[in-house]
């Protein structure tokens, strides 16, 4: 039985390492300087709330650690963790966790 412990442990640690950005994203994030909040659910769906109202989106974790958001119009937005904040690729926008 002991020979199986090491492979199982390595598999669990690998899976935990790969899903690290995903486990950090759950909850609500607010864009600094704008009235925009994105809430990420465990089922890879979410809701964005802004002055224009609410809109659904889907999201996924990419192999490079980025988070890809796809809105109903098929527009894609990419986010990446920088410490405890999320940065929007291609802009200076930063998102902070609100809950």
**How many structural domains does the chain have?**
1
CATH number, position 16: 2.40.128.640
Going from the C-alpha of 76 to that of each of 13, 21, 25, 71, 90, the distances in angstroms are: 30, 18, 17, 7, 12
Mean pLDDT of 25-44: 94
Answer whether 86's CB lies under 8 Å from 79's CB. yes
DSSP-based three-state secondary structure for 30: strand
pLDDT: is 57 or 16 the higher one? 57
- 21 confidence band (pLDDT: 50, 70, 90): low
Range of the domain at 84: 2-97
Predicted model pTM: 0.75
- Predicted confidence (pLDDT) at residue 1 exceeds the cutoff of 80: no
Q: What is the pLDDT of residues 41-92, one digit of tens each?
A: 999 999 999 988 999 999 999 999 999 999 888 899 999 999 999 999 988 8
If we measure between CA atoms, which residue out of 74, 1, 79 comes closest to residue 36? 79
What single-letter DSSP state applies at residue 3? Answer: G
């Amino acid at each position: 039985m002991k020979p199986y412990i090491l492979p199982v442990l390595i598999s669990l640690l690998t899976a935990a390492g790969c899903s690290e950005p995903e486990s950090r994203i759950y909850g609500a994030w607010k864009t600094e300087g704008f009235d925009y909040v994105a809430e990420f659910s465990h089922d890879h769906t979410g809701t964005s709330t802004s002055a224009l109202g609410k809109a659904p989106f889907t999201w996924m974790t990419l192999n490079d650690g980025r988070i890809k958001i796809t809105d109903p119009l098929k527009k894609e937005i990419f986010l990446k963790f920088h410490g405890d904040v999320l940065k929007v690729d291609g802009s200076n926008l930063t998102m902070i966790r609100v809950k």
